[in-house]
Amino acid sequence: MISEIGRGTGAAEGDGSATVKAQLGLRALIVSGELPPGERLAELVLVERLGVSRTPVRAALIKLQDEGLLEPIPGGGFAVKAFSEADVRDAIEVRGTLEGLAARLAAERGVAASLMAEARRCLAAIDAVLAGPALDDTAFGTYAAQNARFHVLLGEMAGSPVVRRQLERAAAQPFASPSGFVMAQSLGPQARDMLVVAQHQHQAVLQAIEQREGARAEALLREHARLAQGNLSQALGSHESLARLPGGALIQRFGTR
C-alpha cells in the first residue's frame, strides 16, 4: 500500500487528491513503524518519499496532527507522537462513555426500523463468523469489519448529529476504534471466547434499545468498552500481539499513573 501511495509525482494536486495521497502515505509510514515516535518530520524528505509537492505535505501534517498521530515541536514542525498506556486507556474510556450516551438516547427516542434491521444484519454476520470452532485471519477481519459497522450504527441510532460527530471524533483517536485490537487479540488462546462475550453484549444492547431501556443500554456499552481495555492489556503483554496491532510501536509503557 505504501509503495502504491508513494508512486509518481504527477497527481492532480488542485483537486485535493495529492493531499489525500500524502495523508494516507504519511499515516502508513507512521503506523508501520517506519517513522518512530519522537522523530522530527522534515518536509523536504517527505516530499521526496511521498512523491508530492510541499503544499499537500503540509496539509497532511496538519491533518495527522488533528488525528493525534503528530505533535508540534518547539521551533516549528512536527514529530511522531508516542502514546502512553494511560493515553490509550483514556481514549477507549471516552469512546465507551459516548457510545453509552448514544445508546441511551436511542432507547429513549426510538430508532427507525431500517437502522434496527441493518444492525441485526451486522450481528447475524458476526454470528456466522463465530459459528466455527476456530477462527483464521479472514474470520477475524470479517468480524472487525462488521463490528465497526455495528458501532457506527449505534452512533446513528442516537438521532443526534452532535453526539454522532463527537463519537466519530472519539473513535478516530489512535487505538480507540471499536475494532482496534481485534487482530492483536487473535493470537490469544481465548480469542474466540472474547469475541463471543462481545457479541453477547452487542445483542443485549440492541435488545435494551428495542425495549426502550436507556439506563441498561448505556451501562452495557460502558461495560463493553472494558473488553477493549482487557485487549489492550493482552496486547501490551505480548510482543507478538503488539506487532499485529496497527501502530503498536507508538505505544510506550510510561506514564501509566
If you average pLDDT over each of 17-21, 133-137, 153-157, which comes out highest? 153-157
Q: Which domain holds residue 217?
A: 84-252
pLDDT per residue as tens digits for the range 30-51: 887 888 898 899 999 999 999 9
Place of cell 462475550: 197
* Cα–Cα distance for residue pair 41/45, rounded to 1 Å: 8
With a cut of 80, say whether residue 104 has pLDDT above it.
Answer: yes
Q: Which of 19, 49, 81 is the last residue of a domain?
A: 81
196: cell is 463471543
pTM: 0.77
Amino acid at 146: Q
The answer to the question of residue 257 being in a domain is no
Q: How many domains does the chain have?
A: 2
pLDDT band at residue 14 under the 50/70/90 scheme: very low
Would you state the pLDDT for residue 205? 97
**Reading across the β-sheet that carries 78-80, which strands appear in turn?**
40-41, 78-80, 70-72
φ, ψ dihedrals at 79, nearest 5°: -130, 155
Regarding whether 53 and 66 lie in a shared domain, the answer is: yes
Regarding whether 108 and 233 lie in a shared domain, the answer is: yes
- The half-sphere exposure of 217 on its side-chain side, counting CA atoms within 13 A, is 27
Q: In CATH, what number is assigned to the domain containing residue 48?
A: 1.10.10.10
Q: Which of 81, 110, 144 is the last residue of a domain?
A: 81
Q: What is the mean pLDDT of residues 105-121?
A: 97
Closest CA to 102 of 173, 152, 147: 152
Q: In CATH, what number is assigned to the domain containing residue 109?
A: 1.20.120.530
Regarding whether 69 and 182 lie in a shared domain, the answer is: no
Regarding whether 51 and 168 lie in a shared domain, the answer is: no
pLDDT per residue as tens digits for the range 179-208: 877 666 655 657 788 889 999 999 999 999
Would you state the pLDDT for residue 141? 86
